[in-house]
Amino acid sequence: MKVILFHTNKDEVDYIKECNTRFRFELEFTDFDFNTAEAGRFTGYDAVWILTNCKVTKEKSEQLAEAGVSYIVSRAAGTDHLDLVSMKSAGLKGANVPRYSPNAIAEHTVCLALMSLRKMKLELKMIDNFDFTLNGLKGRELRNMTVGVIGTGRIGLETIKILNGFGCRILVYDIYENQEVKSLATYRPLSEVFSDSDILILHCPLTKENERLISSDTIATLKDSAVLINTARGGLMDYEAVLTAIESGKLGAAAFDVYDNETSYIRKKVEPDSFESNVLKKLMSKDNVIYTAHMSFFTDTAIENMIMTTFENLYEYEKSGQCANEIT
């Protein structure tokens, strides 16, 4: 099988090549832009290996099918970058990596919560400026907090397990309840999770139903000084509303690993003057806002698991045309 790989970091290439000694695919690493590439670039490949910043739209599906590509293997867990209906109607098969290390995202999420509560962004800036005072640094303790978690799937469960060790009260909401979560946290209606939480964490996928779940209306129902954490997807939040709530003091802090339209700049070094998102720029300038650039998944364990499962997905497709992680 001939495979073209997008968005592989330099430090991953050796590991990918090492794994491939087992699978023996014909691999082609490339640095051209998947989203803007013309059809001819994909000719001759059986499969494309992509990440979340590669958007598979209706046009891209048709283009790939026309070029002779049969399989799209995404190294990610989320699937909102893939138009699955169009992929299917173009005759493309696709697979993802549903579970590479939910713990990686969970640990990052709890790290963001702790950093927000202990005002760590401000403290690090002060230390960089040789300011060793405690001005503005009084924090809050996680143990005393009520934490709301929306989405109790693989990642939500890991976050809840970690939070449990801190001794905080945990309220959760999901469209489906999970028995294991029930032994660690209390399911409540969504409106109560909003109104009763000191920290609100998003761990649900982005769907048509929950787009802009965090809006000026729902922020108004949060406790004063609540902390908002989003390591799920940018489309879940109205960031302008978040900025307004940070500026008014309604929100005590916000921390997020994902942003709307992040594909235009993510994984690139950008000149500050050419950076287009004014809202994000303003949010980034706040001492009580932490932004990480979609990197909560980025650990050694997660990357190794992502790569190995992607190889296994390709191997299954090659052997049988089927794959256990099929998403189309």
- Give the interface with ligand NAI as residue ranges (CB under 6 A): 77-78, 102, 105, 150-156, 173-176, 203-207, 209-210, 231-233, 257-258, 294, 296-297
In whole angstroms, how close is the CB of 49 to ligand NAI at the nearest point? 17
> Judged by CB, which is closer to ligand NAI: 90, or 193?
193
In whole angstroms, how close is the CB of 104 to ligand NAI at the nearest point? 8
Q: Among the options 108, 203, 294, 312, which is catalytic?
A: 294
d(CA 225, CA 220): 11
Q: Among the options 203, 233, 240, 326, which is catalytic?
A: 233
d(CA 133, CA 145): 26
Return the closest-CA partner of residue 152 out of 174, 170, 184, 168: 174
In whole angstroms, how close is the CB of 209 to ligand NAI at the nearest point? 5
In whole angstroms, how close is the CB of 37 to ligand NAI at the nearest point? 24
10-23 and 300-320 helices, crossing angle to 10°: 40
Beta bridge partners of 4: 28, 48
In whole angstroms, how close is the CB of 70 to ligand NAI at the nearest point? 25
Establish whether 169 is a catalytic residue: no
Return the closest-CA partner of residue 168 out of 145, 187, 186, 149: 145
Shortest Cβ contact with ligand NAI: which residue?
A: 153
> Judged by CB, which is closer to ligand NAI: 71, or 173?
173
d(CA 202, CA 183): 20
Q: Among the options 81, 154, 203, 262, which is catalytic?
A: 262
In whole angstroms, how close is the CB of 181 to ligand NAI at the nearest point? 9
> Judged by CB, which is closer to ligand NAI: 41, or 188?
188
Residue 292 CB partners (closer than 8 Å, separation 6+) = 108, 112, 255, 256, 257
DSSP annotation string for 65-112 = HHTT--EEEESSS--TTB-HHHHHHTT-EEE--S-S-HHHHHHHHHHH
Element (H, E) at 19: helix 10-23
In whole angstroms, how close is the CB of 325 to ligand NAI at the nearest point? 13
* Angle made by CA atoms 41, 42, 45, in degrees to the nearest 5: 135
> Judged by CB, which is closer to ligand NAI: 75, or 123?
75
> Judged by CB, which is closer to ligand NAI: 126, or 149?
149
Is the separation of the CB atoms in 29 and 13 below 8 Å? yes
Establish whether 81 is a catalytic residue: no
> Judged by CB, which is closer to ligand NAI: 61, or 231?
231
Q: Phi and psi of 29, rounded to 5°?
A: -85, 140
> Judged by CB, which is closer to ligand NAI: 127, or 295?
295
Tokens for 71?
């399989």
Element (H, E) at 2: strand 2-5
Residues noted as catalytic: 233, 262, 294
